[in-house]
Amino acid sequence: MRTRAASLLLLVAPHAQAHQLRLARAQLLMSPRRLVRSPDAHTRGAIRADERQPVSPAEPAASARKRAPRAGDGAPPDESVAKRAMPAASKKRAAAAATAEAAMPVAEAAPAAAGAKLSRAGQLAARALVPRALTPRRAPPEKADDSLTLVSWNVGGLRAWLADAARRADLASTALAACPNGPDIIFLLETKLQPGAMEEQAREALGEALEGYDAHFFSSSGAKKGYSGVCALVRRACQLPLEVVRGIGECDDEGRAITLRTARPGCAPLDVVGAYVPNSGEGLKRLDYRVGEWDPALRRHVRGAHADGRAVCVIGDLNVAHLDADIWNWGESASKNKALEKGAGLTPQERASFATLLAECGLVDGFRALHPDASGCFSYWSVRASGRPVNRGLRLDYALVTAAMASPDEATSGWALHDCFILDELNTRGDHAAVAITLVSRA
């Protein structure tokens, strides 16, 4: 009997030890301190059957396999066995935790059900739309040969627009929408091209996308690759005699300006300047360069043209909101205005520098000359803040003309301002809208 009992003990002992291990493991796993909760209200308290750990709905299957019990660990503990092995105090704690756990999803879900907490899409939809004033366009001039239409558009990188047929079609439809026959000159800004082969590739692609525009002029950054850049396209049918000037004197290493000098019989010679003015940048790191070097160079460039008897049109992304009406949320409060003044394009220095450009160079804002009191008319909207659907933007793109061109005096010879408008209803892919201006001959 002793030998048989010893044999039975040897057979039972491993199973008993394994059973005791499973009970101890069950007690540890059922402790409330191990019930780590998921931050998601809908999955809070979801405990896995194998290791009693929380599971996220997005957890990859590979992660789940990694955390599965290994061979030899034994079967997962049965909850009834675990509960029987738990002390009374632990049972009370577990019951209290389970009660609290069951209540949590309800408490979290209640505000959402009541509409107190909106989703990202709901928050965007709930924002108030900034109204836009009506700025009706004038009918195109009867004689196209006696007019000149210019378009400027910050494309935020030209290569992306030329990458496939669909994007090229979008580019063409927006650039050509300014007038029935297409604009005479198109400026594409922030092209981010490099001089050389990349410009040649863009020239070929633009020739396919915009038929009838044979003259392509580039001014690309030599100071930094994939940065700034201006491209000018001229319509073949307008037959303008041209002289092309890249840059504005000493500030021409970033590819930010192209001047097309032209003339028509009976009209004063005209300098068309397509410009992409430097942004003051994050933390206003380039503010001193912008107002201390670039802006004065542009003023000298314009004054030089006037001194030579040439009228001037400066068109492009001038990276400043000149008037309060050019800022969607200006005037909400004094503290808000103070905060806005710390943003690029909104600083007192930049706005004052723009006013100096108008005053010293005898220029007029073409859009404001025709729509002085229009509000809610913007050309830039933050993509990050989803500003375009609710028209929360800034007017950073302009067409400026020599003051005499905006004069209503019909006796004045030369070019005259006919229309100036923002194509903000077209192409919402980027953060800028195209702007356009039409000039007519008074001869």
Question: Which residues sit in the known binding site for Mg(2+)?
Answer: 154, 190, 317, 319
What tokens appear for 145 in the block?
């040969």
The catalytic residues are 276, 432
Is 337 in contact with 331 (CB distance < 8 Å)?
Answer: yes
329 φ, ψ to 5°?
-115, 25
38 φ, ψ to 5°?
-75, 145
In 239-329, the DSSP E strands lie at 243-246, 257-262, 270-276, 311-317
Is 363 in contact with 404 (CB distance < 8 Å)?
Answer: no
Query: How far is the C-alpha of 279 from the C-alpha of 45, rounded, in Å?
Result: 51
Q: SS3 of 81, please? A: helix
Instruction: Please report, in range form, the residues annotated as the binding site.
Output: 154, 190, 317, 319
Is 312 in contact with 305 (CB distance < 8 Å)?
Answer: yes
Query: How far is the C-alpha of 127 from the C-alpha of 231, rounded, in Å?
Result: 37
279 φ, ψ to 5°?
-80, 140
Is 442 in contact with 415 (CB distance < 8 Å)?
Answer: yes
Strands 185-189 and 147-154: parallel
Calculate the alpha carbon distances from 121 to 209, 380, 381, 389 in Å: 35, 21, 18, 12
Query: How far is the C-alpha of 57 from the C-alpha of 43, rounded, in Å?
Result: 7
